[in-house]
Chain A
Amino acid sequence: MNNVVTHSTGARLEFSNVRKSFGNTVSVEADNLIIEPGSLTVLLGRSGCGKTTLLNLAAGLDFPDQGSVSYDNQVLQGPAPATALIFQTHNLFPWMTAEENVAFPLRNQGMAKADAREHARQYLKQVGLESFSDHKPSQLSGGMRQRIALARTIATKPRLLLLDEPFSALDMQTRRMMQRYLLRVWNDSAATILMITHDLHEALMLADRIALMASSPRGHIAEIMDIELTRPRNPEDPAFRTIQRQLDRFLEHETLLAEHDPSLESTDQKNNPEATRKQQ
């Protein structure tokens, strides 16, 4: 990925006194969260604490009921500019080939068809999938699809990359590989990354900062931790393990709180691998 064109710096995001409600009760709040340009921040927390809600606000696809979300000191009032999204699934349009998927945003910008295709093939090459240009997503593995989604992301040269559990559906090996890919994209592009994960290990492998979210009495950011481990990260490193234990304890505490809170459905815990493991 050496020939990624580097460009302007990453975007700066700021949540101030944000309240977002669904129905009558406030579901999620974020008082003061600043995401510095070029940083890689991970949102970590149990299911239902409002991670996706915050990400939608950052993307400018949804808006807070109170407070504001600013992008480079401008309050967002529509889709955030130069921003790319990657979800757990459904990232690629299944009716387009890999190449068409990558070319799509370029065509949106008015690039001629032939040029867009040529560019798309270059970006596919960067994720090692140029020989799959003509394949439909249904003919590709989950990991390949996420790589193509990353290739399309690079093609749009985003200043902000929002990832909602992008690797959760992948097996362990593919997930590790994708994490390395993501770090390379981040290094080469200087984009700001905000990423959601359930996976503690993943968070520690990637993050500059981890925003720990709690769900009681409503979704909020309980703590922000700067992760000052050296890169590349090594899970065997004692410092890595110390932080991992610390985070583990936090999540365990959260789970215990949730167990005593009748307003939270017990089914939520089944969706949270961390929580279930702790109960055994």
Chain B
Amino acid sequence: MQPHSINSPGHQVTWISRFVRLILQSSLLWFCLAWLLIILLWEFGSYMEWLNPQILPPPSETIPYALSGNISIGFGQQKTGLFEATAITLTRVGTGMLAGLLVSSCLAIMVIELPLLRRLILPIVQSLAPIAPVAWIPFTIAVIGIGSQAAVFIVFMAVLGTMSLSLIAALDGIPAEYLKIARNLGTSRMRMWWYVRLPAITPGAMTAIRMSFFGAWMAVLAGEMAGINSGLGYMIIMAQQMYNMKLVMIGILAIGFIGFIIDRLLLLANAKLLQWIE
């Protein structure tokens, strides 16, 4: 390449157009644009008095409140802040999903290793899977109560059926050639699971985790709104009862935003894992 070409006008044009194209392709840009549009419409709606500012306070009030740093509701023992509530809810989702993943992995391993158990376990998880996650809430609150364990249990039940089914389906879907070859290469049971089955189902398992996250996220929030005594859902219900509509809105937006971020993170982890596997 000739050295002076770097400064030639032609080069600059392509550099700028490439930069513009990169920006336009960036999903972050479109994410911000979409939200800007919603906020503007919302503000405009309040301004035109299409929306009752008592019920739906405009962004010009909500955003400064959100950024003020001391968002909390309730008094004394019941006092709960946005960040604390979010941390509690996320911990519950994480713990419940981890427990769900652990138990459904055990079930899936049993189904594959012991064909007799398959007939027993499969109908159970098949009937668990279609139960809507929120359906577990009344039962759980009645049996376990309104503490964190109850929330974790709801998440656990919400993901157990679908996760087990997805894992079993992924295991059944491993190309028979891999298993035949591994067996004939003298692979032990343990190594078969660790070096053949696990990597073979990783993409399917990651998708299953991502899908069940939505169910878990919704179930835990619904549970917190229905009686469990802390967390993001609880904060929203408290805010509503105390007529702090700004906080209700912030809570709803936080649900959407955090859900979106976690889904993106899972997607990213998925892509990284796929890269490692393929």
Contacts and interface: CB of A to CB of B under 8 A. Distances in A.
Nearest to B188: A108
Contact of B177 (A83, A91, A105): A91
B278 A108 contact: no
A129 interface: no
B278 A61 contact: no
Contacts, number: 57
A96 B277 CA distance: 7
Nearest to A59: B184
- Size category of the B interface is 20 to 34
Nearest to B186: A108
A70 B7 CA distance: 78
Interface string A50-80: 0000001001010000000000000000011
Interface stretch (B147-155, B193-201, B235-243): B193-201
B184 A61 contact: yes
Contact of B181 (A80, A85, A138): A85
Given A61-B180, A90-B178, A104-B195, A95 B200 contact: yes
Given A105-B186, A108-B187, A108-B191, A91 B181 contact: yes
B276 A95 contact: yes
Interface string B219-242: 000000000000000000000000
A138 B275 CA distance: 11
A85 B135 CA distance: 50
A6 interface: no
Contacts of B181: 85, 87, 90-91
Interface SS of A by simple majority: loop
Contact of A80 (B184, B195, B196, B202): B184
B175 interface: yes
B185 interface: yes
A48 to B, nearest CB: 17
Interface hub of B184, B195, B202, B277 (most chain A Cβ within 10 A) = B184
B18 interface: no
Contact of A136 (B180, B185, B186, B278): B278
Given A61-B180, A95-B199, A104-B195, A109 B175 contact: no
B183 interface: yes
Contacts of A93: 178, 182, 195-196, 199-200
Nearest to A153: B185
Contacts of A104: 185, 187, 195
Contact of A94 (B182, B183, B188, B277): B277
The 6 closest A-B pairs by CB, nearest first: A90-B177, A95-B199, A105-B185, A95-B277, A108-B186, A90-B175
Interface of B: 175, 177-178, 180-188, 191, 195-196, 199-200, 202, 276-278
21 contacts: A56-B180, A59-B180, A79-B183, A84-B184, A85-B180, A87-B177, A87-B180, A87-B181, A90-B177, A91-B177, A91-B181, A93-B178, A93-B200, A95-B200, A95-B277, A96-B195, A108-B185, A108-B186, A108-B188, A138-B278, A156-B186
Given A93-B178, A95-B276, A104-B187, 19 more contacts: A59-B180, A59-B184, A85-B180, A85-B181, A87-B180, A89-B177, A90-B181, A93-B182, A93-B195, A94-B277, A94-B278, A95-B200, A95-B277, A104-B185, A105-B185, A107-B191, A108-B186, A152-B185, A156-B185
